[in-house]
Amino acid sequence: MNRIGAAAGTVWQTLSGTGALTIPKLIEASGLSRDLVLYGLGWLAREGKLQFLQRGRTRLVELADGEMQQTEAA
């Protein structure tokens, strides 16, 4: 469970620094394995910290609006 929580933190930090990414780009940017990124995304989605976007045929994930405000305040 600690690895998944740490992965969620890494995913959050990555998205806070980059904005919206596809999952393959998030895997690359985070340096985590595919599985850990997916687990981290699940953790963050369960907490309502993410939003998923569809732009044409591309699916993106980004921090939810309230989360982006937190990163700007920090």
Architecture field, domain 2-73 = Orthogonal Bundle (1.10)
pLDDT at position 14 is 97
Average pLDDT, the chain: 92
For residue range 45-72, what is the model confidence (pLDDT) as tens digits?
Answer: 999 999 999 999 999 999 998 776 565 5
For residue 51, which phi and psi values (nearest 5 degrees)? -135, 145
Whether the CB-CB separation of 49 and 55 falls below 8 Å is answered with no
**What share of the chain has pLDDT > 90, as a percent?**
85
Distance separating alpha carbons of residues 63 and 51, to the nearest angstrom:
6
pLDDT at position 60 is 98
Q: Is the pTM of this model over 0.85?
A: yes
pLDDT at position 68 is 66
Domain boundaries, the chain: 2-73
**DSSP symbol at 20:** S
Distance separating alpha carbons of residues 56 and 38, to the nearest angstrom:
22
Q: What is the dihedral of CA 33, 12, 57, 24, to 10 degrees?
A: -20
